[in-house]
Amino acid sequence: MKQLHLVAIMGLILVCLTAGAGTLWAQRSVSHGARAMLRGPALATRLHRQIAQRAFQSGAQTGKGIYHVSQINQGVFCAHAQKGNDAFSGGVFQVTRDGEKEVFGFIAAHSLADVPSGTVERRENQYYLNRFFEMKVEDQWGNQHLVEAEVVALSSPKMLDIALVKFRPGDEKLFNPFPLRQTPLKEGEELVYEGFSERIGQVSFSRKLLEQSPISLRTDMMWPRLKRVGFCGGALLDHQRQLVGIHTGSHCGSSLAADIGFATYAHFLNLLVDEFHHKGNVTFPLELGGKKTIDLAPDEHIITIDFFDKHGEKIGLYITGFKFSYSTVNDIIQEKTPRYLRFLIGKTGWSDQDPAYVEESVSRREVTYDLKRGRVVSKEVGR
């Protein structure tokens, strides 16, 4: 990747375009090329506060993008490359493990998960975000710093839709990280969004909590659709400036339906931190109908669910589209009252190409769950 010249950038953002059916629209990344979201290397626990320098050097051989960052001292950041559609926004948070504080960054996973459709787009990908990237950061005193970062843990864009970023220990002092909120949100609670918009730059405004699902929270959305492009990856905070969510998209309703914003719960960042430390041994429960069912890895997603009655007869089917819909699945369960659920589960992985591209279903597994007994069953449905 050619070295990108420093430019003055304030308020540029991860561009999330909208897509939908009828009167509904869902925000997504604008990049038409793949953005590498490789998982971080398996680091020993004793090295969890630093990233191996060799890994950074290896990343440099294939080309690292230089991204120009603003607003880092507020806990949120925006980075943008001079060439290519590779802008992204995110934030910084802090956790305590074994009595020691750790600082990480976060971004929206779908900004890294676009799949290229042709050779030209693959060539253009030289300007897109790599697993290893550098950010030219200006601190509060106006001094320039070259910050190296790595995407070290991922979740599926169809489920949690967040990615974990690690900085070198020496660079962590440049950031003013948010603490994660530990207590549940209250119905109707007033929250604050901080991020960036492609049209208006830095953004801060109130959002009221409307509804919660097992993975995400829903709020009102006051901004017009075209002006909210780029909100994905921004921070949703309470009035104590504790991080409660990461914005991952929004729906635009009709003239009779209010617009809604979606954010993944911030506490799922702990899951990615655990994945960073204990790769391959971390899961979270899929809650349906108020009950925990099967366990998923952070990078897994539901492809389909087949619904069967007690006799093994198929009575329904759910197919995941842009993102898994808890409400749709719960409606089917309530209407059909199935005995068994058969899940087809996809896993996010990487192609063997160089540079690698995201493949959302490189491996699949099937799990059948008995709703009545509340357990996974290995026998064939109906027997």
pLDDT tens, per residue, the chain with 383 residues: 333 332 222 232 233 333 333 322 333 332 222 222 222 222 222 222 233 233 333 333 334 555 666 656 678 877 655 444 556 678 999 999 888 899 999 988 887 765 454 555 544 443 345 667 777 777 778 888 888 888 889 899 899 999 999 999 988 888 889 999 999 999 899 999 998 777 777 788 999 999 999 999 999 998 888 788 778 899 999 999 999 999 999 888 766 678 899 999 999 999 999 999 998 889 999 999 888 999 999 999 999 999 999 999 999 999 998 899 999 999 999 999 999 999 999 988 766 665 556 677 777 899 999 999 999 997 555 43
Alpha-carbon distances, residue 232 vs 78, 156, 229 (angstroms):
11, 15, 8
Residue pair 37/112 in contact by the 8 Å Cβ criterion: yes
Quote the pLDDT of residue 139.
76
DSSP 8-state symbol, 75: T
Q: Which helix (H) or strand (E) holds 137?
A: strand 132-138
Quote the pLDDT of residue 308.
97
Quote the pLDDT of residue 113.
65
Integer Cα distance of 284 and 365 in angstroms: 16
Quote the pLDDT of residue 205.
92
Integer Cα distance of 201 and 221 in angstroms: 17
Quote the pLDDT of residue 374.
94
Strand partners, 66: 134
Query: Could you tell me how many residues make up the chain?
Result: 383
Residue pair 162/264 in contact by the 8 Å Cβ criterion: yes
Give CA 115 to chain center in angstroms.
Answer: 16
DSSP 8-state symbol, 6: P
Q: Tell me, what amino acid is at 244?
A: V
190-268: CATH number: 2.40.10.10
Quote the pLDDT of residue 53.
32
DSSP 8-state symbol, 180: B
Q: Please work out, in degrees rounded to the nearest 5, the angle formed at the alpha carbon of residue 75 by the alpha carbons of 131 and 135.
A: 35
